[in-house]
Amino acid sequence: MIEPAAPSDGSAAAGPRLIVESLQRIGVSLAAYLPDEWLEPLIDEVERAPTIRGVRIAREDEGIGICAGAFFGGKRTVLITQNSGVLLSGNAIVGCALLHHAPFLMLVSYTGSITDRRFYQINKGRATEPFLHALGLRYAIVEEPAQVGLIEDLAAYAYQSAQPAVALLGRTVLGA
């Protein structure tokens, strides 16, 4: 298997560090996350951030409720999960976040994308974008550290539209 190239600055932590810096600039103070191999470097950066409280969850759909509830309590939030978790959370996204106009970000590892190169993940990748489109969620694919600014654009959209927005994060930007 051919591995994707490392981040351009030579540091595997460049992407996760830049992502957390973006989260801090947009005022995220709570991050709900479900541990995942690809997301580990990002979760580690979130846990080190003094202004973001990390909350480990057991199921992705409970993260939707936590992020929506925290928004109504005056916090900006992010859900960090794998794309299979988003696929599993459709009911919570529609019945909680969209119904009640709760904006937050979802930072989603994009397993099964064209750059994943693990054939057994392909069905997750093939279903992710059509699923987000069917729910009417705006999303961007962030593959490289230079694209991290898209996360701030998604946050602006989320808070202006009062609905979640999704950043699909490739392996390279995650440093995985």
pLDDT digits (tens, 9 = 90+) for 37-88: 899 999 999 999 999 999 999 999 999 999 999 999 999 999 999 999 999 9
**Residue 9 in domain:** no
The pLDDT, as a whole number, for residue 153 is 97
Average pLDDT, rounded, for the chain: 90
The pLDDT, as a whole number, for residue 113 is 73
d(CA 61, CA 126): 21
Count of domains forming the chain? 1
Does residue 126 or residue 29 have the better pLDDT? 29
**Residue 89 in domain:** yes
Strands of 105-109's sheet in order across: 53-56, 28-33, 76-82, 105-109, 165-169, 138-142
**Residue 81 in domain:** yes
Q: Could you list the residue range(s) of the whole structural domain that residue 44 is in?
A: 27-106+122-162+170-174
Average pLDDT of 128-145?
A: 96
**Residue 137 in domain:** yes
d(CA 36, CA 82): 7
